[in-house]
Amino acid sequence: MLDGTFAIDKSLENVKRAVKRDYDTSTYYVYQNLFIARAFTQLRQQTEGRYVPKAKLIKSYFNSRKNVKKVMKPLKTK
């Protein structure tokens, strides 16, 4: 099981490696409105002390959508 935001290219490599090894794979993308995601990061900062800068959240938000599309494109042919 791989869990993450798919915001970095390492996520793509992990999925490609799993497919190459003939593992059964499934990708689930759970959409979260950006404003709600921002509210969650602010709550997490208050409860856990984990700070996520607004610019990083926005970049990760759009990268995750882009990377899910990237990883699904070559897999559609299988």
pLDDT at 4: 76
CA distances from 7 to 14, 47, 49, 58, 77 (A): 13, 23, 21, 10, 24
Any domain includes 45: yes
Total structural domains within the chain: 1
For residue 34, give its domain range. 9-75
pLDDT at 75: 61
Dump pLDDT digits (tens) for 31-65: 899 999 999 999 999 999 999 999 999 999 998 88
Any domain includes 1: no
Any domain includes 4: no
